[in-house]
Amino acid sequence: MDCIFCKIIKGEIPSHKIYGDEHTFAFLDINPISNGHTLVIPKHHHENLLTASEEDTALVAKTVKKIANAVKKTFNADGVNILQANGTAAGQSVFHYHVHVVPRMENDGLHLWPPTKRIGHEAAQMAKAINKNL
């Protein structure tokens, strides 16, 4: 399979590795939006969170927590955003499940959260409809 992140795991493409265990791998994003911007991925190939196994989802979450604390400490960050895109409409560009760990500083000028736009909605109806699809 022609997957850039599978190649990074195998060492066929170089990366700046931060951490690896039996199931997960963490490395610096090639095009960082802040110092310490790290990607955490499962070693198994899954397209994104929606199709990843429950086991890999949990294992990635565990590594994300570990990395978030490490980058916060390393860069003396004021906060950390955890971001993750599923599908092109959501901004996903590499189709191997990955989680962004982004250290944040007060007034760093990044507009990741809070959002710039809110919508109105019929909350009770919406909650029921989503619940039906669980």
Give catalytic residues, as residue numbers: 98
d(CA 49, CA 35): 25
Residue with token string 């699809």: 133
Helix (H, G, I), strand (E, B) or coil at 45: coil
34 sits near ligand 5GP (criterion: CB under 6 A): no
Residue 82 near residue 104, CB atoms below 8 Å: no
97 sits near ligand 5GP (criterion: CB under 6 A): no
Among 3, 6, 23, 29, binds ligand 5GP (CB under 6 A): 29
Strands 24-28 vs 38-42: parallel, antiparallel or unpaired: antiparallel
Residue partners of 114: CB distance under 8 A and separation at least 6: none
- The listed partner (ligand 5GP, Zn ion, none) that binds 91, CB under 5 to 8 Å by sort, is ligand 5GP
Interface with ligand 5GP (CB under 6 A), residue total: 14
Contact region for Zn ion (CB under 5 A) — 13-21, 79-87, 93-101, 103-111? 93-101
- The listed partner (Zn ion, ligand 5GP, none) that binds 29, CB under 5 to 8 Å by sort, is ligand 5GP
